[in-house]
Amino acid sequence: MILEAPVVLDARIRSAARIKGAEAAGVPAGQARFYVEADVLALIRSDAPLPTRLGYVVDVPLDARGRAPKLNKQRVLLFARQVAGQPTMLQLPRADAQKAWTAELDALVRRIVREVVDPAAPPAVTGLGNAFHVPGTLPGEGETQIFVQTATGAPISLSILRRPGEQRRWAVALGEIVDDAAGPPPRDTLLWYRLACGLPRALPASSLSEQEPANATLARDDYAFVLAQLGSCARGG
């Protein structure tokens, strides 16, 4: 959501008026539409100054009895964009772009925003280049290297190391040189997201066109190991 939202802010809802009738057309079942005005507590991300009070429309779930929640005074995190020509209005691009504020979520969002706006931020993954497995001198020893294609052309590579009697280890490198001290990206970092959500679910045959069948099989297995270690990037609620 941070990547999709040019405006991220911490706000407190000042007023919320339920919208009914024709203006509520298209509201999903089990939800209600509100026009909300909120006071900005902190501007976490924006390319331009914003007013201290902003309005927006949001759909929120009804409770088990079909009642709308009380939004007044709630503290929320908003992932939004400005409405052209209306400086006091925001548009929420997703149904879950208003989230209840917690200290943990606030810290996570601020950290990800810092990563996203960093000029050295890892680029989006667009595919996979060459991959190869090189057997070691001992049975069961070897290393797989996989080159990742990116939207900017900046190099990313994966390396997976097998040693007899040890757990497989893998690392990601940003740059031409693989750092032996590198490791997997911590979960919920931008680099983790780029890999977990951007990598294909299998190595394409074109990546292994120059590999012997036995080495290609090991490379595929090592790639599947990396995907399993990254885990799913499925969005939560």
pLDDT for res 233: 83
pLDDT for res 235: 60
Q: What are the start-end ranges of the H helices in the chain?
A: 103-117, 190-198, 213-230
Amino acid at 209: S
Which tokens in the block code for residue 21? 């009738």
> How far, in Å, are 4, 45, 73, 154 from residue 195 at the CA level?
17, 24, 38, 14
- d(C-alpha 194, C-alpha 217), whole Å: 25
Domains and CATH numbers, the chain: 7-117 (2.40.50.120), 125-230 (no CATH)
CA 31 to chain centre: 26
- d(C-alpha 27, C-alpha 45), whole Å: 28
Q: What is the pLDDT of residues 47-106, one digit of tens each?
A: 989 999 999 999 999 998 989 999 999 999 999 999 999 999 999 998 899 999 999 999
Confidence of residue 19 (pLDDT cuts 50, 70, 90): very high
Confidence of residue 237 (pLDDT cuts 50, 70, 90): very low
Which letter does DSSP use for residue 67 in this model? Answer: P
Q: What is the pLDDT of residues 163-204, one digit of tens each?
A: 999 999 999 999 866 665 678 999 999 999 999 999 999 999
Give exposure, 1-30, as e/b (b: 16+ Cβ within 10 Å): bbeebebbbbbebeebeebeeeeeeeeeee
